[in-house]
Chain A
């Protein structure tokens, strides 16, 4: 499988601040990456599709001004949680799409805690 990294693995921030999470594809260039959110003991919920060189596509109910996505290169996508609140505390996971194979490779996740 392909290697996908996320940074940081854990972050604690104060309410009202912004946090940036990076997702890197280390094995191949990716025009498409995905961002998911996972609540405790729940499955993954797709938040948005990150497209290199264009705007991200957000799923219904996900605030695009709250969760800013930038896919500036073929190996890096970033998710910025703006003006974070305790309810934004969650596990955020990115994935990289290997096109043609329609296979996604997942990062190790980032645990965000907002105090």
Chain B
């Protein structure tokens, strides 16, 4: 069973600081790894998907890296803004099925 861990559980930073969110997984046989954002009381918004053959993926201020051999992914958010305040979740499907195993999330607060 895939176990996904996210550290830290919560993060509070002043506006403008860069954010570093960590995700680790126990089974490296994954198809891809997805990062999601969830606002309170809302569904999930997909931010980035990194294929297992890739090492990183970028979208605007967001950059995600993937190191399958060590079972880690990191999400970097540059020049944080108050609108970045949300819970960020990572998830990965194992190669033998499509099911996503989620981490518990990192709740980010960006102070104006």
Chain A interface (Cβ < 8 Å from any Cβ of B): 1, 6, 32, 34, 42-44, 46, 49, 91, 93, 95, 97, 99, 101-109, 111
Chain B interface (Cβ < 8 Å from any Cβ of A): 31-32, 34, 36, 41-46, 49, 89, 93, 98-100, 102-105
Chain A, interface SS category: strand
Contact B36–A43 (Cβ < 8 Å) = no
With contacts A103-B49, A106-B36 taken as known, whether A46 is within 8 angstroms of B100 at the C-beta atoms is yes
Contact A106–B99 (Cβ < 8 Å) = no
- Residues of B within 8 Å of A102, CB to CB, are 31-32, 93, 98
With contacts A93-B43, A106-B36, A109-B43 taken as known, whether A43 is within 8 angstroms of B99 at the C-beta atoms is no
Contact A106–B43 (Cβ < 8 Å) = yes
A-B contact pairs, 25 of them (CB 8 A): A1-B46, A34-B99, A43-B103, A43-B104, A44-B89, A44-B102, A49-B99, A93-B43, A95-B100, A97-B98, A99-B98, A101-B49, A102-B98, A103-B32, A104-B34, A104-B98, A105-B46, A106-B43, A106-B45, A106-B46, A107-B43, A108-B42, A109-B41, A109-B43, A111-B41
